[in-house]
Structure 1
Amino acid sequence: MSSTELDAPPIRSILLAIITVVGLHLLTAFALVTIKTPTIKPEPETETPPVEIQFVTLPTKSAAPKAEVLPQEVSVQKPAQPTVEPQPTTPPKAETLPKQRVKTPIEPVVKKKVPEAVPVIATEQNAPDSSQKPLPEQAVPKKISPEPIVDTSAADERRKEAAAQAKKAAQDAEAKAAEIEKAKLKEAELKAVKAAQEARSIANAKAAAQAKAARDAAEAAARAKAEAEAAAAAQSNEPVSFTASAANWASAPNFSFPERAARRARSGDTLNVVLVLRVNKQGGIDSVSVAQSSGNSLLDREAQRQVRSGKFKPFTKNGVPVVGNVTLPISYAVP
């Protein structure tokens, strides 16, 4: 097993991590989608209480002696300006539209014209009575603040962006897992092919080794058998028959027709003698016998004498020198 297989994490742990990441992204996207946009409740309208005006009649005083009317200071009192009640305006609810900013229209407050105040001359009759209670202060209307503008397009965009990111992360994780699985399958196929090639090479090497061992064994057996036969032949000294063609002369003898034998033969005749030679392990001729006579005893004896002057190369059998019997025909031409 290679070192890369030991260092690489198992497929199960990789898939588990990918599934966990995808699940977290999906939960985040679902949470962002399910979050509701907060709705702002309008403040309850406060009605301005009506201003109560009470008319007081001054008591009439008894007749008094006329007195000199002195000029008095005339004070002009400005009556309090009545406030115009603002008409309650209910702003329309802002509808949530995708990627649009809805503004709540605010109706302007219309101020009514107030008639100019008429100057009043303060006299004894219309002088204010100290016992009269002062009129309550008129309530000042509160300013109605417009509802805040809620922009929901940004939240929608964030939700859509989060959903798109989660989807892209899931797709990237799936693609990465597919690439890892494909790479592992390819690596496994390459390893299987390599293992098959190694197995074939090992099988071929074993078959060649076995064939070579069988050949070596056969050759060794043949050599052992030949050596055993040679050793047996060397120990037994039993002669082995060879033909004249298998004999090689180390030094060839000189065959010549003897003059004494020419008296008994006619000129131009050919006389044939067949000799049987016993050759020792060194190639020397130990004995010579006549297997077939030429008809001339002098020629047969001379042929036996002449052949002894030669020497053969040792005869071998299975690489071991042996004693050999050689049948040698000799032809003589009568001069």
Structure 2
Amino acid sequence: MSSTDLETPPLKSILIAILVVVGLHVLTAVALVAMKPSAPKVAPPKQTPPIEIELVSLPAALPKEPVKVVKSVEKEVTKVVIDKSTLAPKPQAIIKPKPVTETPKKPVVQERKPDITPLVKKEKTTSIAQEKPSQKQTKQEEPNPAIDKAISEQLANNQKVNNQQAEQRRLVAAQAEKAAQEAQLQQAQAQAQAQEAQRVANAKASAEAANDAAQKAARAAKQAEKAAKAAAESNEPVNFTASSANWVSAPNFSFPERVARRANSGDTLNVVLILRVNKQGGIDNVRIAQSSGNAALDKEATRQVRSGKFKPFTNNAGVPVVGNVTLPVSYAVP
């Protein structure tokens, strides 16, 4: 045997190596085929726990509505399954993976690997993804008395709490309204009391002012009366003119015949007399303030004037007083 024969491996070892490699490949292929593909992660439908599903404001009969929603979801899921089954390959394609699991022959694996693997993956993923919700939904459809009782109790408690809160709010509102009404009533009473006090004060002030004015007027009248009485009692004569004197009975002034002999016919003789008139209007005294130049005529004039009478003279207070009256008298000589 030459050196080259020693360096080359024997044919038997080569065949064994080839068989080992081929067997490893076959085992790898079989393992890949037999291995279940990882199902895609499908987000499971959100199912809230029974407590979270509860609606506080809804009546006790409404918790059954979530079950109806689940049924509608089931119907939708079944519809999706039917649609995909129509689009998927025939049932024979689903049965085909059986020979792959039975015989790990090279040609079968090499020929069917590219065709079967995608179909198996699609079918399994869809079936798994569609079967899981149905199982959960069937579980949800099963009635659970404990859950229903808990839901009803929770709703009753919530309703009770709501009623208590509403009653408390009503009481607080009633108390606030009552307090506001009392405050308004107190304010109205205080305002009425203030107005009444102001009215009483104004009436009192008016009465006091009227009383003061009446007292002042009474004092003034009393003082005037006292002054008039004092003036009357003092008998101080008050001077009056002939125009301000009123006769009750006027005297008859006639030219005497015995004086006519000594006077010229057609002449006018004037004499001025000052009369003292008492409180009754009578003439108590007569004196000559200006003579006519004829003593007999002056004397006759003083006699004639005494036959007359005046209305009593009074002062500003209406009290009769003694008066001095200046009276001019004219005589025409016949």
Q: Report the TM-score when normalising by structure 2.
A: 0.52
Structure 1 residues 177 and 334: CA distance shift in structure 2, 3 A: farther
Q: Which of 191, 200, 203 is the equivalent residue of 1:193?
A: 191
Q: Which of 222, 225, 230 is the equivalent residue of 1:224?
A: 222
Q: Which amino acid aligns with 1:100?
A: P
Structure 1 residues 323 and 163: CA distance shift in structure 2, 3 A: same
Cα distance in 2, alignment partners of residues 268 and 330 from structure 1: 16
Structure 1 residues 194 and 270: CA distance shift in structure 2, 3 A: farther
Structure 1 residues 270 and 205: CA distance shift in structure 2, 3 A: farther
Q: Please state whether the residue corresponding to 1:326 is helix, strand or coil.
A: strand
Summarize deviations over 1:121-142 as a string: whole Å, max 9, x none.
xxxxxxxxxxxxxxxxxxxxxx
Q: Which of 242, 246, 249 is the equivalent residue of 1:248?
A: 246
Runs of at least 4 residues off by over 6 Å: none
Contact preservation (8 Å) 2:268, 2:331: yes
Cα distance in 1, alignment partners of residues 164 and 263 from structure 2: 131
Cα distance in 2, alignment partners of residues 176 and 333 from structure 1: 113
Contact preservation (8 Å) 2:279, 2:313: yes
Structure 1 residues 161 and 256: CA distance shift in structure 2, 3 A: farther
Aligned to 2:327: 328
Summarize deviations over 1:54-73 as a string: whole Å, max 9, x none.
xxxxxxxxxxxxxxxxxxxx
Matches within 5 A, 1:41-80: none
Aligned to 2:314: 316
Cα distance in 2, alignment partners of residues 182 and 267 from structure 1: 113
Q: Which amino acid aligns with 1:241?
A: N
Q: Which of 154, 172, 189 is the equivalent residue of 2:170?
A: 172
Q: Which amino acid aligns with 2:198?
A: R
Structure 2 portions without partners, runs of 5+: 1-48, 55-61, 68-142
Structure 1 residues 281 and 154: CA distance shift in structure 2, 3 A: same
Q: Report the TM-score when normalising by structure 1.
A: 0.51
Structure 1 residues 262 and 189: CA distance shift in structure 2, 3 A: farther
Summarize deviations over 1:124-161 as a string: whole Å, max 9, x none.
xxxxxxxxxxxxxxxxxxxxxx9744313322322232
- The alpha-carbon deviation at position 276 of structure 1 amounts to 0.7
Structure 1 residues 194 and 240: CA distance shift in structure 2, 3 A: same
Contact preservation (8 Å) 2:50, 2:147: no
Cα distance in 2, alignment partners of residues 173 and 268 from structure 1: 123
Cα distance in 2, alignment partners of residues 164 and 333 from structure 1: 130
Q: Which of 209, 219, 225 is the equivalent residue of 2:207?
A: 209
Summarize deviations over 1:51-93 as a string: whole Å, max 9, x none.
xxxxxxxxxxxxxxxxxxxxxxxxxxxxxxxxxxxxxxxxxxx
Aligned to 2:155: 157
Q: Please state whether the residue corresponding to 1:150 is helix, strand or coil.
A: helix
Q: Please state whether the residue corresponding to 1:100 is helix, strand or coil.
A: helix
Residue identity over aligned pairs, in percent, reads 55
- The alpha-carbon deviation at position 264 of structure 1 amounts to 4.9
Aligned to 1:100: 63
- The alpha-carbon deviation at position 280 of structure 1 amounts to 1.4
Structure 1 portions without partners, runs of 5+: 1-93, 104-145
- The alpha-carbon deviation at position 268 of structure 1 amounts to 5.1
Structure 1 residues 210 and 181: CA distance shift in structure 2, 3 A: same
Whichever structure has more helix as a proportion of its residues is: 2
- The alpha-carbon deviation at position 95 of structure 1 amounts to 4.1
Structure 1 residues 148 and 189: CA distance shift in structure 2, 3 A: closer
Structure 1 residues 334 and 196: CA distance shift in structure 2, 3 A: farther
Structure 1 residues 147 and 214: CA distance shift in structure 2, 3 A: closer
Query: Paired residues, what number?
Result: 200
Q: Which amino acid aligns with 2:271?
A: V
**Alignment of 1:290 onto 2:253:** no
Q: Which amino acid aligns with 1:273?
A: V
Cα distance in 2, alignment partners of residues 189 and 266 from structure 1: 104
**Alignment of 1:236 onto 2:234:** yes
Cα distance in 1, alignment partners of residues 213 and 144 from structure 2: 108
Matches within 5 A, 1:16-165: 95-96=50-51, 97-98=53-54, 99-101=62-64, 148-151=145-148, 152-165=150-163
Structure 1 residues 239 and 150: CA distance shift in structure 2, 3 A: same
Q: Please state whether the residue corresponding to 1:219 is helix, strand or coil.
A: helix
Cα distance in 1, alignment partners of residues 206 and 188 from structure 2: 27
**Alignment of 1:303 onto 2:301:** yes
Cα distance in 1, alignment partners of residues 144 and 184 from structure 2: 65
